[in-house]
Amino acid sequence: MTIDIVTAINLALSQTLQNSANTVLLGQDIGKCGGVFRVTEGLQTKFGTKRVIDTPISESLLAGMAVGMSTHGLRPIVEFQFMGFLYPALDQIINHLARMKNRTRGRLSCPSVLRMPYGGGIGAPEHHSESTEALLAHIPGLKVVVPSTPTQAYHLLIEAANCNDPVIFLEPKRIYRSVREKLDTEPTATSASQPRVVIPGNDLTIIAWGAMLHDTIEASKQLNRQGIYPEIIDLVTLSPLNLTLAYESVSKTNRCLIIHEACESFGVGAEVGYRIFDHCFNYLEAPVKRLCSPDITIPYSKMEHHYYPQINDIIQTSQALVEY
């Protein structure tokens, strides 16, 4: 039987609650209602109201509770309803959650997971479609990860829950239920947070993550018909960056395209692109390119397809790089 990403995350949360008595879930409507996207459905019934806690509508409170709980022996997993609702919590996240270990010279730490749906593609208004991961990736002390498949989401969340530092767990809601596969619960030989080659190729390297990874895979099928075979890398972890795999790939393909649905300026793609340029300069036969959204506020649903990179955009940009 195949499952989707929502079910995989639910199973990972259930497994973590069962294995760790110190783990608690916090969030708005996560208990009785099962959360906005029903990711936590059934968990309060199974584990009780002291382990799966419905909270008031206060994102700052959620992050503050995570700080207090995690410094006193608990391991909170917090759900923010949407990434665009996160901003009132940034004071607690940046000034305390991310800095506690450094501030106390390791005496205290904040083992916690902050889960949030991010990105667009579901026809929701602006605050429900944010992709501002660069804000969080810029903060020392935070680990930022993005799953792109059910199995990856399952293992990545279990790893995050066992991490002794705060982890931002970004869930690409556009593929919450559209990407399905048979779940493999066996532990992987390598960490689920490491970048991976999704499709090998020789003509150019394409780096993507989350929902855009699947658009990239679809574009590659059409590129293959034209005799172009890109190597596709799922970045997985946005911070701290591990680009060893990308360097090896670009040294082979001599071209690189980075794709994300966040705004182009000052995004993760800019940092990835510069590091590849700096490390692989002698191998490059074309400029490192980014394919991102424009630097404007996310439009309403009828205009979304004009905002986010589309499959045809990926195809055309890839063709231009190969022909450069």
**pLDDT, mean of residues 254-276:** 97
Q: 205 to each of 53, 112, 197, 208, 221, how far by Cα in Å?
A: 44, 34, 10, 10, 15
Give the C-alpha separation, 179 to 157, whole Å: 17
Q: Are 63 and 110 in contact (CB under 8 A)?
A: no
**pLDDT (tens digit, 9 = 90+) per residue, 191-200?**
999 999 999 9
pLDDT band for position 189 (cuts 50, 70, 90)? confident
**pLDDT, mean of residues 253-275:** 97
What is the pLDDT at residue 117? 96
What is the pLDDT at residue 300? 85
Element (H, E) at 23: strand 23-27
How many percent of the chain have pLDDT more than 90?
91
What is the pLDDT at residue 187? 83
What is the pLDDT at residue 121? 83
Query: Does pLDDT of 91 surpass 90?
Result: yes
Q: According to CATH, what is the number of the domain 196-323?
A: 3.40.50.920
Question: Mean pLDDT, the chain, as a whole number?
Answer: 96
Give the C-alpha separation, 290 to 311, whole Å: 14
Give the C-alpha separation, 8 to 183, whole Å: 8
What is the pLDDT at residue 176? 97
**pLDDT, mean of residues 235-239:** 98
Query: Does pLDDT of 92 surpass 90?
Result: yes
CB atoms inside a 10 Å sphere around CB 54: 15
**pLDDT, mean of residues 207-221:** 97
What is the pLDDT at residue 305? 84
- Domain segments of the chain as ranges: 2-182, 196-323
CATH 3.40.50.970 fits 2-182, yes or no: yes
Query: Does pLDDT of 44 surpass 90?
Result: yes
pLDDT band for position 232 (cuts 50, 70, 90)? very high
Catalytic residue of the set 72, 127, 128, 306: 128
Half-sphere exposure of 229 (CA within 13 A, CB side): 7
Copy the structure tokens of residue 171. 């869930």
Q: Please tell me the pTM assigned to this model.
A: 0.96
Q: Reduced to 3 states, what is the DSSP secondary structure of residue 208?
A: strand
Residue corresponding to tokens 């008031």: 56
What is the pLDDT at residue 45? 97
| Angle in degrees, CA 177, 179, 183, rounded to 5 | 100
What backbone torsions phi and psi does residue 68 show, to the nearest 5 degrees? -65, -45
Assess whether 72 carries a catalytic annotation.
Answer: no
What is the pLDDT at residue 123? 80
Please give the torsion angle defined by the CA atoms of residues 138, 140, 142 and 144, in that order, rounded to the nearest 10 degrees.
Answer: 40
Please give the torsion angle defined by the CA atoms of residues 104, 237, 282 and 212, in that order, rounded to the nearest 10 degrees.
Answer: -150
**pLDDT (tens digit, 9 = 90+) per residue, 278-299?**
999 999 999 999 999 999 988 8
Give the C-alpha separation, 44 to 52, whole Å: 5
What is the pLDDT at residue 124? 81
What is the pLDDT at residue 220? 98
**pLDDT (tens digit, 9 = 90+) per residue, 241-261?**
999 999 999 999 999 999 999
What is the pLDDT at residue 299? 87
Query: Does pLDDT of 106 surpass 90?
Result: yes
Query: Does pLDDT of 126 surpass 90?
Result: no
Domains 2-182 and 196-323 share a fold: yes
